[in-house]
Amino acid sequence: MWTSPNEKGPVVVEREALVSHLQALLEADRFKDYGPNGLQVEGRAQVRTVVTGVTASLALIDAAIAEGADTILVHHGLFWRGQDGRVTGWMKQRLARLLANDINLLAYHLPLDAHASLGNNAQWGQRLGLVADARFGDQNLGFIGPAPAGLTLEALGDRVAQTMGRAPVVVEGDGRPLRRVAWCSGGAQGYFEQAIAAGADVFLTGEISEPQAHCARETGAAFLACGHHASERYGVQAVGEHIATQLGLAHTFIDVPNPA
């Protein structure tokens, strides 16, 4: 009987080795963040199957259990500054499911946005055909680079819609030619003014709040809100693929759609 090299059986990695690998890869200790990066909920000491997703929601946890995962790696974990700390309601449900199934929950927030090649901003930019030549904003999270030659705001909006599967909210600026494009995934609408100060003619992020529309009209720089969830699907997938390749772990990305 012929046995393919892939039938050696699953690779097993010590959880602590996986966490150390990710901490170093993502330079997690370098960031001031809104919640703990790294291991948030301890499960099995040995890891075989990793599921990645954007948010540690109940739906993702249940999907990971169905997938037979022992480890979940997300961008948005369970614990954030400002929470009241009680394990009730949705928090109880999510934790109960993780603990009952002995699943590790690993979360990387800003380190996963920022990584120069595997992060959300790098991967999102790559899919949109954008190359950064500089960084801006708090902890250098924002990416900025030259606009592809002749790119119009309309064409950029179309590119976003095609690549991401949803039409962006577009606030036009003063109609200037796009020379510099800045982007920062997720809820980075508050970085719009920093992007403009860094020289952006247009800024892409996940969400829009009320002030950004006025800011676009009054400064002349355009603004695109492309979806918080939609813009943050890419980094965790890239990191999942990286650990699958580097460590030999089984990896599946599970997208739990979110209209936000």
User: Nearest distance from residue 227's CB to Zn ion, in Å?
Assistant: 11
User: Nearest distance from residue 201's CB to Zn ion, in Å?
Assistant: 25
Q: For Zn ion, which is the closer residue by CB, 146 or 187?
A: 187
Q: For Zn ion, which is the closer residue by CB, 111 or 173?
A: 111
User: Nearest distance from residue 182's CB to Zn ion, in Å?
Assistant: 17
Cα separation, 162 vs 85, whole angstroms: 41
Q: For Zn ion, which is the closer residue by CB, 15 or 75?
A: 75
Task: Give the residue nearest to Zn ion (CB).
Answer: 186
Q: For Zn ion, which is the closer residue by CB, 33 or 62?
A: 33
Q: For Zn ion, which is the closer residue by CB, 103 or 107?
A: 107
User: Between the CA of residue 92 and those of 132, 141, 227, what are the distances in Å?
Assistant: 41, 32, 28
User: Nearest distance from residue 112's CB to Zn ion, in Å?
Assistant: 9
Per CB under 5 A, residues contacting Zn ion are 186, 232
Closest to 60 (Cα-Cα) out of 26, 103, 25, 17: 103
Structure-token pair, residue 80? 């954030």
Neighbours of 103 (CB within 10 A): 20
Strands 38-41, 142-146: pairing kind: unpaired
Strands 202-205, 180-183: pairing kind: parallel
Closest to 53 (Cα-Cα) out of 242, 256, 259: 256
User: Nearest distance from residue 76's CB to Zn ion, in Å?
Assistant: 6
Strands 104-107, 71-76: pairing kind: parallel
DSSP 6: G
Cα separation, 13 vs 17, whole angstroms: 7
Grouping H, G, I as helix, E, B as strand and the rest as coil, residue 222 is strand
User: Nearest distance from residue 233's CB to Zn ion, in Å?
Assistant: 11
Q: For Zn ion, which is the closer residue by CB, 153 or 230?
A: 230
Computed from CA positions of residues 133, 135, 141, 143, in that sequence, does the dihedral angle turn out positive or negative?
Answer: negative
